[in-house]
């Protein structure tokens, strides 16, 4: 509410959060790039609250981070168009992008994540 008062010209369009894992195996096992069950419950509540305030929330980004010795080029994670992965220091970062539907649930159909000019 403070943001709406201070910056009425601004619009909240989404949310982002992180999932942190010990290593890449744990990230893969837990499908860390995806929203968790707790995330889904929060998204339903949060998106409805934001819509009630007049914001058109549509996007949720999940960044999963884990230690990983193997370097990877900037690319889609396991060829999924709604993801990007990159090596950051001694870690792998995997970003998953999701549409937030009117119901507050997540969808990936029609979502393709790209970051032009991503630094290497």
Domain, as residue range, for 21: 12-107
Which one, of 93, 102, 29, 28, lies nearest residue 62 by Cα? 93
Spell out the per-residue pLDDT of the chain, length 120, in tens. 566 677 777 777 788 899 999 999 999 999 999 888 888 788 788 888 888 888 888 888 999 999 999 999 989 998 899 999 999 999 999 999 998 887 778 889 989 998 776 555
Helix or strand holding residue 15 (H, E): strand 14-23
Question: How many Cβ atoms are within 10 Å of 91's Cβ, its own excluded?
Answer: 18
In a domain, 28, yes or no: yes
CA-to-CA distance for 66 and 6, rounded, in angstroms?
37
CA-to-CA distance for 31 and 25, rounded, in angstroms?
10
Q: Are 9 and 61 in contact (CB under 8 A)?
A: no
In a domain, 95, yes or no: yes
Q: What is the pLDDT of residues 78-107, one digit of tens each?
A: 889 999 999 999 999 999 999 888 777 888
In a domain, 114, yes or no: no
In a domain, 2, yes or no: no
State the total domains in the chain. 1
The answer to whether the pTM exceeds 0.95 is no
In a domain, 117, yes or no: no
Which one, of 8, 32, 41, 24, lies nearest residue 90 by Cα? 24
Tokens describing residue 85: 């992965």
In a domain, 75, yes or no: yes
In a domain, 30, yes or no: yes
């Amino acid at each position: 509410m403070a943001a709406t008062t201070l910056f009425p010209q601004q619009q909240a369009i989404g949310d982002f959060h992180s999932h942190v894992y010990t290593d890449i195996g744990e990230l893969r096992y837990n499908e860390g790039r995806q929203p968790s069950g707790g995330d889904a419950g929060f998204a339903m509540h949060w998106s409805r609250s934001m819509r009630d305030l007049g914001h058109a929330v549509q996007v949720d980004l999940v960044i999963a981070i884990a230690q990983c010795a193997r370097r990877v080029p900037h690319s889609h994670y396991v060829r999924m168009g709604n993801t990007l992965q990159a090596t950051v220091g001694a870690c792998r970062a995997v970003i998953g992008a999701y549409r937030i539907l009117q119901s507050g649930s997540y969808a990936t159909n029609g979502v393709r994540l790209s970051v032009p000019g991503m630094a290497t």
